[in-house]
């Protein structure tokens, strides 16, 4: 049995994770911690799952690493400097692996993978994400990571920046610039989590689209990460694509 602790246990994702862990034959939920609870409650856990808030996740993760616990992190906000910081914490701790995944949806991971593959073949590429209006951050972690992967694939292939002759714009009209890739964030009542990657060139437009219809959809990926994080040869893993053999 894998002993699992959940951080953000009363939240939209954390509560779903608690249910999924309780329903898994090979896992035991040993701690459900939320805002105001002491982190010490997590010490019986082998693996801690964090779905909290970008503003608190680094403190949580530092504590887990110092305790030598394995951590599976779904909370967004992991720009490159944060990843470097986590790597430095791990270098100073003897045990415990960390897996940070911008998205645990299998389809979302495939969308990112295919976007990366397609990106060098088109002149233009932009990312449009749509989420529920209670989401704390914009753009989403998934959109940010997708843009990073697209930018890296285009840089490696020597592709020119997406053409854009805009000389006059209302602030924000062209979205955020993530490593040269435009990212647009829509906040919409009724939405859960959705993303389109739109690629254009030579008289054709290619659209990759993924829709998370509910939060249960993330659970197969979360449970897979909990099972696999313990045995990872690399102390820090970004994304579940490696676990899926992509």
Return binding residues for NAD(+): 8-13, 34, 74-76, 101-104
Q: Is 192 helix (H, G, I), strand (E, B) or coil?
A: coil
Q: At what angle do helices 106-118 and 219-229 cross, to 10 degrees?
A: 90
54 interface partner picked from ligand LZUJQKHR, ligand NDP, none, CB below 5 to 8 A per type: ligand NDP
Place of tokens 């529920």: 132
113 is a contact residue toward ligand LZUJQKHR (CB under 6 A): no
Cβ neighbours of 173 (radius 10 Å): 9
142 is a contact residue toward ligand LZUJQKHR (CB under 6 A): yes
CA distance 210 to 208: 7
56-85 mask for ligand NDP (x: CB under 6 A)? x-----------------xxx---------
Shortest reach from residue 53's CB to ligand LZUJQKHR, in Å: 10
Please identify which of the residues 70, 131, 184, 210 carries the catalytic annotation: 131
List phi, psi (to 5°) of 242. Answer: -65, -35
Place of tokens 């659970």: 219
- Residue 84: CA count within 13 A, CB half-sphere: 3
Residue closer to ligand NDP by CB (options 60, 116) is 60
* Residue ranges with strand state E in the chain: 2-7, 27-33, 47-50, 70-73, 98-100, 124-131, 176-178, 181-187, 193-201, 204-212, 236-238
CA distance 74 to 159: 32
14 is a contact residue toward ligand NDP (CB under 6 A): yes
Asked if 135 is an active-site residue, the reply is yes
For ligand LZUJQKHR, the binding residue among 52, 60, 140, 146 (CB under 6 A) is: 140
Shortest reach from residue 146's CB to ligand NDP, in Å: 13
Q: Which of residues 160-199 bind ligand NDP (CB under 6 A)?
A: none
110 is a contact residue toward ligand NDP (CB under 6 A): no
Find the radius of gyration of the CA atoms of the chain: 19
Q: Which of residues 8-67 bind ligand LZUJQKHR (CB under 6 A)?
A: none
Q: Which residues are catalytic?
A: 131, 135
């Amino acid at each position: 049995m894998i002993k699992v602790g959940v951080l953000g246990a009363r939240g939209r994702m954390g509560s779903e994770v608690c249910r999924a862990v309780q329903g898994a034959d090979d896992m035991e939920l040993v701690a459900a911690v939320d805002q105001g609870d002491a982190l010490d409650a997590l010490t019986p856990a082998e693996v801690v799952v964090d779905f909290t808030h970008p503003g608190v996740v680094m403190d949580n993760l530092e504590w887990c690493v110092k305790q030598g616990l394995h951590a599976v992190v779904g909370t967004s906000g992991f720009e490159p400097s944060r990843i470097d910081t986590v790597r430095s914490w791990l270098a100073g701790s003897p045990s415990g692996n960390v897996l940070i995944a911008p998205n645990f949806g299998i389809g979302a991971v495939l969308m990112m993978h295919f976007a990366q593959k397609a990106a060098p073949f088109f002149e233009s590429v932009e990312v449009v994400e749509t989420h529920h209006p209670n989401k704390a951050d914009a753009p989403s972690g998934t959109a940010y990571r997708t843009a990073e992967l697209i930018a890296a694939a285009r840089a490696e292939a020597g592709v020119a920046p997406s053409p854009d002759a805009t000389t006059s714009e209302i602030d924000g009209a062209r979205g955020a610039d993530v490593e040269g890739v435009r990212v647009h964030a829509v906040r919409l009542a009724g939405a859960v989590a959705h993303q389109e990657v739109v690629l254009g060139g030579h008289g054709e437009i290619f659209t990759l689209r993924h829709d998370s219809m509910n939060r249960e959809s993330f659970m197969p990926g979360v449970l897979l990460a909990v099972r696999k994080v313990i045995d990872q040869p690399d102390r820090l893993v970004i994304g579940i694509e490696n676990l899926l053999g992509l």
